[in-house]
Amino acid sequence: MISKKIQDAINDQINEELYSAYLYLALAAHYHAFNLKGIGTWLEAQAKEEIEHAMKFYNFMIARAGTVSLKTIKQPPTQLPPANKAFRLAYEHEQYITEKINQLYELAHAQKDYAFEELLHWFIKEQVEEEASTLEIAERLDQIGNQTHALYMLDAKLGKRNGGQ
């Protein structure tokens, strides 16, 4: 059985992961508006990954006989920075999610919920990858600046994620 405190925290994290998917979809639409379909495709794949993360928490809760309580997902920003700065927003968001995962781990440890700790090990490793990938793209976009040819090359490369473009 899962404690109420951990159950509430997992429900909050499900909401955070679904918001992450919304944020990535908003960023994808933003890049599509600039006709950067490869970057948009990469961000759409990222949104799907965030939904998978929410489902990992959801399925864990079900397996532990917890009560899933889905909450309203807040709207992502509608006013986004220029295309070359939008990945900074993604990177900052991943840092925020890392902190949330760390807080969950601290809670699991304090509550001696070893099964939850084990699940969180996967998320801790995943967040290292999430931060690294969004930072790498943000830095490349900063380096590219107004070099259209380089931007289109990056767009083509990112569009190949998960079989896109």
Q: What is the mean pLDDT of residues 119-128?
A: 98
Which architecture, in CATH terms, is 4-69+80-163?
A: Up-down Bundle (1.20)
Confidence band (pLDDT; 50, 70, 90) for 80? confident
What tokens does 48 get? 């799907």
Residue 61 CB partners (closer than 8 Å, separation 6+) = 2, 7, 10, 11, 14, 67, 68
Q: How far apart are CA 151 and CA 109, in angstroms?
A: 45
Query: Quick one: average pLDDT of 20-28?
Result: 96
Whether 113 contacts 127, CB under 8 Å = no
Q: pLDDT-derived band of residue 59, with 50, 70 and 90 as boundaries?
A: very high
pLDDT score recorded for residue 165? 46
Q: Which residues, 6+ apart, have CB-to-CB distance to 66 below 8 Å?
A: 2, 6, 7, 10
Residue 109 has a CB neighbour count (10 Å cut-off) of 13
With beta carbons less than 8 A apart as the criterion, state whether 80 and 89 touch: yes
Q: Is the pLDDT of residue 83 over 80?
A: no
What integer pLDDT is reported at residue 162 of this predicted model?
Answer: 63
Q: What sign for the dihedral angle of Cα 105, 108, 114, 115? A: negative
Tens digits of residue pLDDT in 132-157 = 999 999 999 999 887 888 888 998 99
Task: Please tell me the pTM assigned to this model.
Answer: 0.93
Task: Report the chain's C-alpha Rg in angstroms.
Answer: 17
The two three-digit tokens of residue 28, written as one number: 């994808």
**43 pLDDT above the threshold of 70:** yes
Average pLDDT, the chain: 93
pLDDT mean over 114-123: 98
What average pLDDT score do residues 73-96 get? 90
